[in-house]
Amino acid sequence: MPSPYRAIFAAPGTKGFSTAGFIGRMPLSMVGVGILTMISELTGRYALAGALTATLALSAAVVGPQVSRLVDQYGQRRVLRPATLIALAAVAGLLLSAANGLPDWTLFVFSALAGCVPSVGSMIRARWTAIYRDRPRELHTAYSFESVVDEVCFIFGPILAIGLSTTWFPEAGPLIAALCLLVGVWWLTAQRATEPPPHPRDPAADRTSALTSPGLQVLMATFVATGAIFGSIDVVTLAFAEEQGHKSAASFILAIWAAGSCIAGIVFGLLHLKGKAERRWVLGVCAMAVSMIPLLLAGNLPFLAVALFVSGLAIAPTMITTMALIEAHVPRAKLTEGMTWISTGLAVGVALGSSVAGWVIDAAGAKTGYVVSISAGTAAAAVAFAGYRRLTRPAQGEEPADDGDGHSRTAATGDTGHTAESGSVA
């Protein structure tokens, strides 16, 4: 591991919560693909599979920020364990309903209840922020490491979910994902020393959401479209691989896509770039949009794998910059909620992308489904450009703090005059 990454683990407890977070985040990439594969294996109905995935994502979009808001107020252990048990019960109901051929409405009910799955990635990033808030370079490296972990989950998650559901039994993918969530959350919440302190709120402050930040609104809106990219590519790639006669290969192709992002994230975490993070973020979103175009030209699986690898190179750097911008635009007492709103935007986008892609596949074939990905990328770039000025406004919500050298800096940024991410790489 390069020295900047090795250095961030010098703090006590970081290895433990990072490992628990890795296990707890595996369901992030397993549940949706697992449900898609399970339903397609049992019924052959991609529209139903996409709609169930969309229901799960929309439910998580509604419930997730509320769970994280409670975490900010009461602490991770007190909130995450009950939320996880509710999610696990819902997943169990979904699997039993699918296995026994119960009416479709039961599948939708349990998919909606499963939205209580907590945003484990936000919990881990909140722990890193509590440790390195006043050391922006280390925080940048920590955010980079977490984006790499996300991509590693997306490399192995689809392989496990699709592989288990196609070679063992249809419900195996979501089942193993649920077990990973249980182990990861229980291990994480057992580590009290690194848990960020709760921030009890008075009734007036508790009515105010982190989403009132104009900068966070731009980031979330952009990531709704970004989520549509992710959701559509998952569904379309699975269907395209099946049309090519190699359905199980979809997991490896999606892993190659994630590998491109993983490599880019590792390199990005080692760099100390100058310039505004907001401008770098817009360029990253535009790069993701442009990289969607070659997907429509894919005529075989090898070409698709190469095209997805290239498109993946823009994902992790954009996500890393996004998390730093959140830390700059959201008050400290609402940081976990703010990070979860990005996951919410992605979840809403995944819901839209997977649903629309499922309908397009059933109506016009798998390859045409990549039109949804291209359209989503165009929308993401348009929103990023339209909201750029909001991101460049000063962060609000916390009083300036003195850095000890006579300079004033916002407590949310840990930098002098720039956002956290731009300061960390200057």
Task: Return the closest-CA partner of residue 255 out of 277, 278, 238, 268.
Answer: 238
Q: Is 115 helix (H, G, I), strand (E, B) or coil?
A: helix
Q: Does residue 274 fall inside a structural domain?
A: yes
Q: Does residue 424 fall inside a structural domain?
A: no
Q: Is 209 helix (H, G, I), strand (E, B) or coil?
A: coil
**What one-letter code names the amino acid at 394?**
P
Q: Does residue 5 fall inside a structural domain?
A: no
Q: Does residue 47 fall inside a structural domain?
A: yes
Q: Is 271 helix (H, G, I), strand (E, B) or coil?
A: coil
Task: Return the closest-CA partner of residue 76 out of 174, 193, 172.
Answer: 193
Q: Which residues form the domain of 279?
A: 14-197+209-397+406-419
Distance CA 354, CA 377 (A): 14
Q: Does residue 368 fall inside a structural domain?
A: yes
Q: Does residue 131 fall inside a structural domain?
A: yes
Number of separate domains in the chain: 1
- Which two structure tokens, joined as six digits, stand for 243? 């049309």
Residue 197 backbone phi and psi in degrees, to 5: -65, 145
Q: Does residue 307 fall inside a structural domain?
A: yes
Total Cβ atoms within 10 A of residue 181: 25
| pLDDT in 10s for each residue of the chain, 426 residues | 457 778 888 888 898 999 999 998 888 778 877 887 888 788 777 778 878 877 887 788 788 778 888 888 888 888 999 999 999 999 999 999 888 888 888 989 998 888 788 888 888 988 988 888 778 788 878 888 887 787 777 667 767 887 788 888 888 888 898 899 999 999 999 998 888 888 776 555 555 666 667 778 888 889 889 888 988 888 888 888 888 888 778 878 888 888 888 888 888 877 776 767 788 888 989 999 999 999 888 888 899 999 999 998 988 888 888 877 877 777 766 777 777 777 777 767 876 887 788 888 888 888 788 899 999 999 999 998 888 877 766 554 443 333 333 333 333 333 333 333 333 322
Total Cβ atoms within 10 A of residue 16: 15
Burial category of 275 from C-beta neighbours within 10 Å (exposed 0-12, middle 13-18, buried 19 and up): exposed
CA 419 to chain centre: 21
The CATH number assigned to the domain holding 243 equals 1.20.1250.20
Give the pTM: 0.68
Q: Does residue 3 fall inside a structural domain?
A: no
Distance CA 218, CA 381 (A): 11
